[in-house]
Structure 1
Amino acid sequence: MEQTIELPAFRRSAELAPNSIDPETRSVEVIWSTGARVRRAVLFGEPHDEELSMAPEHVRLERLNAGAPFLKGHEAHDLDAVIGSVVPGSARIENGQGVARIRLSERDAVGDIWRDIEAGHIRAVSIGYQVHRFEISKPEGQRELWRAVDWTPFEISAVPVGADPAAGFRANSEHETCVLHRRDAPTSQRETPMTDRTQTAAETAEQSNTTAAPEETSMADDTTGAAEPQTRAADTTPKATKPAPDPVPESNTHSVDTDAPVSEARISEARAQERERVSTIHGLADKLQLERGFADDLIKRGVSIDEARRRILDQVAAKADETRTFGHVSIPLGGRDAMVTRREAISNALLHRYSPTLFPLEDAAREYRGMTLMELARESLETAGASTRGLSRDEVATRALHSTSDFPEILAAVTNKTLRQAYEAYPRTFPLFCRQVLATDFKAMHRVQLGEAPQLLKVGENGEFKRGTLGESKESYRIETYGRVVAITRQVLINDDLDAFTRIPAMYGNSIAQLESDVVWDIVTSNPAMADGTALFHATHKNLAGTGAALGVDSVGLARAAMRKQTGLDKKTVLNIRPAFLIVPAALELKAEQLVAQTLVPAQSGNVVPQSIRTLSPIAEPRLDAASETAWYLAASPNQIDTIEYAYLEGQQGAYIETRNGFDVDGVEIKCRLDFGAKAIDWRGLYKNPGA
Structure 2
Amino acid sequence: MPESIRTRDLPVQTRSASLLPGTANTEARTVELVWSTGAAVRRRDWATDNPYDEVLSLEPGHVDLSRLSSGAPFLNNHGAWDLSDVIGVVERAWVADGEGRAVVRFSDREEVAPIWNDIASGIIRNVSVGYSVRAYEITDGDVPVWRATDWIPLELSAVPIGADPGAGFRSAEHLHPCQLRHHQEDRPMPETAKPPRDHARIRADESTPLTITGITNANPCVVSTATSHGLASGTQVLIAGVNGMVQLNERTFAITAIDDVSFSLDEEDSTNHGVWTDGGTVTPVPQTQRHATTKEPVSDVTSIVGRAIAAERTRSHGIHDAGTKLGIPRAVSDDLVARGVFLDEARKLMIDAAAHKDAALDTRSVVVTQDEQVIRRSAVEGALLHRFNPSAHPLNDAAREWRGLSLLEMSRAFLDAKGVKTRGMSRDELATRALHAGSDFPIILAGVTNRTLRAAYEAAPRTFMPFCREVTATDFKMISRVQLGEAPTLIKVDESGEITRGTIGEGKESYRIDPYSRIFAVTRQVLINDDLDAFTRVPQLFGDSAARTESNIVWAIFTANQKMADGKGLFHADHKNLAASGTKLGVDAIGKARVAMARQTGVDGTTVLNLRPAFLIVPVSLEMAAEQLIAVNIVPAKTSDVVPNSIRSLQVIAEPRLDDLSIVSWYMAASPAQIDTIEYAYLEGKQGVSLETRMGFDVDGMEIKATLDFGAKAIDSRGFFKDPGAA
Please, what TM-score do these two structures have when normalized by structure 1? 0.51
Deviation at 1:486, TM superposition (A): 1.4
Question: Partners in 2 of 1:474 and 1:689 — Cα distance?
Answer: 26
Deviation at 1:385, TM superposition (A): 2.1
Tell me, yes or no, if the aligned pair for 2:437 and 2:695 is still in contact at 8 Å.
no
Match of 2:689 in 1: 655
Match of 2:577 in 1: 543
Question: Partners in 2 of 1:676 and 1:350 — Cα distance?
Answer: 31
Match of 2:699 in 1: 665
Tell me, yes or no, if the aligned pair for 1:481 and 1:673 is still in contact at 8 Å.
yes
Aligned match of 2:487 in 432, 438, 453?
A: 453
Tell me, yes or no, if the aligned pair for 2:556 and 2:562 is still in contact at 8 Å.
no
Q: Structure 1 pair 333/527, CA: closer, same or farther in 2 (3 Å)? A: farther
Q: Is the aligned partner of 1:402 residue 2:439?
A: no
Aligned match of 1:557 in 591, 610, 615?
A: 591
Deviation at 1:461, TM superposition (A): 2.5
Match of 2:622 in 1: 588
Q: Structure 1 pair 385/541, CA: closer, same or farther in 2 (3 Å)? A: same
Q: Structure 1 pair 633/335, CA: closer, same or farther in 2 (3 Å)? A: farther
Match of 2:561 in 1: 527
Question: Partners in 2 of 1:399 and 1:483 — Cα distance?
Answer: 28
Deviations 1:239-280 (A, max 9, x none): xxxxxxxxxxxxxxxxxxxxxxxxxxxxxxxxxxxxxxxxxx
Secondary structure class of the residue paired with 1:684: helix
Partner amino acid, structure 2, of 1:379: A
Secondary structure class of the residue paired with 2:379: helix
Q: Is the aligned partner of 1:638 residue 2:672?
A: yes
Match of 1:608 in 2: 642
Match of 1:516 in 2: 550
Q: Structure 1 pair 345/574, CA: closer, same or farther in 2 (3 Å)? A: same
Deviation at 1:332, TM superposition (A): 8.5
Match of 2:501 in 1: 467
Question: Partners in 2 of 1:354 and 1:563 — Cα distance?
Answer: 50
Match of 2:377 in 1: 343
Question: Partners in 2 of 1:614 and 1:488 — Cα distance?
Answer: 51
Question: Partners in 2 of 1:596 and 1:333 — Cα distance?
Answer: 60
Secondary structure class of the residue paired with 2:718: coil
Match of 2:424 in 1: 390
Question: Partners in 2 of 1:673 and 1:601 — Cα distance?
Answer: 51
Partner amino acid, structure 2, of 1:594: Q
Q: Is the aligned partner of 1:439 residue 2:439?
A: no
Deviations 1:278-325 (A, max 9, x none): xxxxxxxxxxxxxxxxxxxxxxxxxxxxxxxxxxxxxxxxxxxxxxxx
Q: Counterparts of 1:188-199 in structure 2 under 5 Å? A: none
Q: Counterparts of 1:171-190 in structure 2 under 5 Å? A: none
Match of 2:325 in 1: none
> Which one has the largest radius of gyration?
2
Q: Counterparts of 1:305-320 in structure 2 under 5 Å? A: none
Question: Partners in 2 of 1:582 and 1:333 — Cα distance?
Answer: 57
Question: Partners in 1 of 2:658 and 2:509 — Cα distance?
Answer: 24
Tell me, yes or no, if the aligned pair for 1:384 and 1:404 is still in contact at 8 Å.
no
Match of 1:372 in 2: 406
Partner amino acid, structure 1, of 2:441: F
Secondary structure class of the residue paired with 1:651: coil
Larger deviation, residues 397-406 vs 631-640: 397-406
Aligned match of 1:503 in 522, 537, 561?
A: 537
Question: Partners in 2 of 1:663 and 1:601 — Cα distance?
Answer: 68
Secondary structure class of the residue paired with 2:668: strand
Question: Partners in 2 of 1:373 and 1:552 — Cα distance?
Answer: 59
Q: Structure 1 pair 445/663, CA: closer, same or farther in 2 (3 Å)? A: same
Match of 1:597 in 2: 631
Secondary structure class of the residue paired with 1:576: coil
Match of 2:653 in 1: 619
Tell me, yes or no, if the aligned pair for 1:563 and 1:577 is still in contact at 8 Å.
yes
Match of 1:311 in 2: none
Question: Partners in 1 of 2:500 and 2:437 — Cα distance?
Answer: 75
Secondary structure class of the residue paired with 1:402: coil
Partner amino acid, structure 1, of 2:662: S
Question: Partners in 1 of 2:671 and 2:485 — Cα distance?
Answer: 19
Question: Partners in 2 of 1:689 and 1:599 — Cα distance?
Answer: 26
Larger fraction in helix: 1
Question: Partners in 2 of 1:463 and 1:371 — Cα distance?
Answer: 89
Q: CA RMSD in A?
A: 1.3
Secondary structure class of the residue paired with 1:474: strand
Question: Partners in 2 of 1:680 and 1:419 — Cα distance?
Answer: 29
What count of residue pairs does the alignment treat as equivalent? 362
Q: Structure 1 pair 332/476, CA: closer, same or farther in 2 (3 Å)? A: farther
Question: Partners in 1 of 2:671 and 2:604 — Cα distance?
Answer: 22
Deviation at 1:359, TM superposition (A): 1.5
Q: Counterparts of 1:472-487 in structure 2 under 5 Å? A: 472-487=506-521
Q: Structure 1 pair 403/674, CA: closer, same or farther in 2 (3 Å)? A: closer
Secondary structure class of the residue paired with 2:661: coil
Deviations 1:68-111 (A, max 9, x none): xxxxxxxxxxxxxxxxxxxxxxxxxxxxxxxxxxxxxxxxxxxx
Secondary structure class of the residue paired with 1:670: strand
Deviation at 1:665, TM superposition (A): 1.2
Question: Partners in 2 of 1:663 and 1:585 — Cα distance?
Answer: 46
Q: Structure 1 pair 602/334, CA: closer, same or farther in 2 (3 Å)? A: farther
Question: Partners in 2 of 1:516 and 1:632 — Cα distance?
Answer: 21
Larger fraction in strand: 2
Question: Partners in 1 of 2:375 and 2:595 — Cα distance?
Answer: 60
Question: Partners in 2 of 1:403 and 1:659 — Cα distance?
Answer: 11
Deviation at 1:684, TM superposition (A): 0.4
Secondary structure class of the residue paired with 2:722: strand
Tell me, yes or no, if the aligned pair for 2:522 and 2:702 is still in contact at 8 Å.
yes
Partner amino acid, structure 1, of 2:399: A
Partner amino acid, structure 2, of 1:430: F
Partner amino acid, structure 2, of 1:668: M
Q: Structure 1 pair 542/338, CA: closer, same or farther in 2 (3 Å)? A: same
Q: Is the aligned partner of 1:419 residue 2:428?
A: no
Secondary structure class of the residue paired with 1:678: strand
Question: Partners in 2 of 1:346 and 1:441 — Cα distance?
Answer: 37
Deviation at 1:391, TM superposition (A): 1.2
Q: Structure 1 pair 332/485, CA: closer, same or farther in 2 (3 Å)? A: farther
Match of 1:577 in 2: 611
Deviation at 1:601, TM superposition (A): 3.3
* Identity in percent: 64
Question: Partners in 2 of 1:498 and 1:538 — Cα distance?
Answer: 52
Query: Gaps spanning 5+ residues in structure 1: where?
Result: 1-330
Partner amino acid, structure 2, of 1:684: R
Q: Structure 1 pair 334/639, CA: closer, same or farther in 2 (3 Å)? A: farther
Secondary structure class of the residue paired with 1:339: helix
Secondary structure class of the residue paired with 1:448: strand
Q: Counterparts of 1:36-435 in structure 2 under 5 Å? A: 335-435=369-469
Question: Partners in 1 of 2:376 and 2:669 — Cα distance?
Answer: 49
Partner amino acid, structure 2, of 1:651: G
- The structure whose RCO (Cα within 8 Å, separation 6+) is larger is 1
Q: Structure 1 pair 525/399, CA: closer, same or farther in 2 (3 Å)? A: same
Secondary structure class of the residue paired with 2:435: helix
